[in-house]
Amino acid sequence: MIAPTPPMGWNSWNTFGSEIHETLIRETADAFLEQGLKEAGYQYVVIDDLWEADERDSDGRLTHDPAKFPHGIKALADYVHSKGLKFGIYSCAGSHTCAGKPASYGYEETDARTFAEWGVDFLKYDFCYKPAGTDGPTLYRRMGQALRMTGRPILYSVCEWGSNKPWEWAAGVGAQMWRTTGDIEDSWESMERIGFGQNGLERYAGPDHWNDPDMLIVGMYGKGNVAKGGCTDEEYRVHFSLWCLLAAPLMIGCDVRNMTDATREILTNRRVIAVNQDPLGRQGFRVGQEWDKFEVWMKQLADGSVAVGLFNRHESWGRKIAVAWESLGLHDRRACRVEDLWSGEDLGEHRGSFSAFVAPHSVVLIRLTPIV
Ligand code: GLA
């Protein structure tokens, strides 16, 4: 299996857009080690769109923008590998990428072979400039087959924005993850609309096939390519908590060379990441909702415990939010130990229900372990 638990890594798009070059990618790989990201489980360093030259080379192969990547992609992949990390790249199912560079339609086998030769471990495959009359499942099946034929294990990340219900067919064409939505922006509204909109897709996810509600905006603070006002640290904590409950791929989108302490603490919290990486591979779902603003989400974990998020989506009103054991499928009389996952604090033994005050745009994330 290529992705027994949700993939973890970094992608250049959210912060850097077209401003990518080999020094940035090398420094990012270095930062994975220096900032504790590798140790926390982050593995893939992925270059998004705009790494490409304007034209294919004389052999019809995709090639790099020589100004951005003077030593070529293979040398960069080798560098990333030398750090014990994995290397990812981007192409598109149409004739051009979304940013207008040459893409893989009609060149699927050539490109898959090129990527394998370069040592690519992850391919994000977009959906712009499709020729009329072609359909998503067919185009994605072609590249899926071409990747398989290389013999190299390459994680296949389908990015068709949920247009053709990829949760119904993308695993069948060889994808380990597929986007369920359009692009995220660095704002509470964008994160909230996407994240809380994932309910109902949980039955399509599991080991080696994950729903992908797009990359993380944690730590962007309103700067970079998808900036839209930014979020507070507490809002980023809500975002990260929700993505962990959703068993979503954790692809960091900020500049990891320059993280604040708060950003680093959010992105590397072991207890919270363990919820995302739990080997059972269940995607969480909503079990309670009041006035569209106060929500309870749960995720079952392999050891029989349950992760629960008490979310306050209200912008100014703090409120006590409760979770009843009954809504988690636990009998009322069952005693559970409750742990606060962000702080690690033991919140004691509880029966029947648990409640906590949750500030506006905030979350209380807990783990309930039934005491046998
Ligand atoms: C699309 C994708 C984004 C990004 C850009 C690159 O919009 O959804 O994630 O890859 O293309 O052009």
pLDDT at 372 over 90: no
pLDDT at 112: 99
Question: What digits encode the pLDDT tens for the residues 64-78?
Answer: 999 999 999 999 999
- CB environment 327-358: b (16+ within 10 A), e (fewer): ebebeeeeebebbebbeeeebeebeeebeeeb
Instruction: Summarize the confidence of residues 26-52 as an average pLDDT.
Output: 98
pLDDT at 290 over 90: yes
Question: What digits encode the pLDDT tens for the residues 164-210?
Answer: 999 999 999 999 999 999 999 999 999 999 999 999 999 999 999 99
What SS3 state is found at 112? helix
User: What mean pLDDT, rounded, does the chain reach?
Assistant: 98
Task: Give nearest CA residue, ligand 1 atom 9.
Answer: 183
Cα 5 to Cα 21: distance, rounded to the nearest angstrom: 30
pLDDT at 292 over 90: no
pLDDT at 371 over 90: yes
CA angle 18, 20, 21 (to 5 degrees): 140
- Quickly state the pLDDT bin for 24 (edges 50, 70, 90): very high
Cβ pair 184, 217 in contact under 8 A:
yes
Give CA separation, 326 vs 200, 238, 311, 371, in Å. Answer: 20, 24, 18, 16
Task: Give nearest CA residue, ligand 1 atom 3.
Answer: 183
| Separation of CA 62 and ligand 1 centre (Å) | 18
Is 212 a pocket residue for ligand 1 (Cβ < 6 Å)?
no
| Separation of CA 82 and ligand 1 centre (Å) | 28
Give the amino acid at 95: S
Ligand 1 atom with least separation from CA of 159: 8
Instruction: Summarize the confidence of residues 295-314 as an average pLDDT.
Output: 98
At 344, list the tokens: 């690690």
pLDDT at 1 over 90: yes
Nearest to 326 by CA among 351, 348, 362: 351
Nearest to 323 by CA among 294, 347, 346, 300: 294
Task: Give nearest CA residue, ligand 1 atom 6.
Answer: 49
Q: What is the pTM of this model?
A: 0.98
Ligand 1 atom with least separation from CA of 127: 1
Helix (H) or strand (E) holding 82, with range, is: helix 72-82
Domains in the chain with CATH codes: 8-276 (3.20.20.70), 285-370 (2.60.40.1180)
Q: Which of 89, 98, 122 is the best mutation target for the ligand 1 pocket, counting ligand atoms within 8 Å of the beta carbon and taking the most?
A: 98
Q: Which of 49, 89, 122 is the best mutation target for the ligand 1 pocket, counting ligand atoms within 8 Å of the beta carbon and taking the most?
A: 49
Instruction: Summarize the confidence of residues 86-91 as an average pLDDT.
Output: 99
Question: What digits encode the pLDDT tens for the residues 224-254?
Answer: 999 999 999 999 999 999 999 999 999 999 9
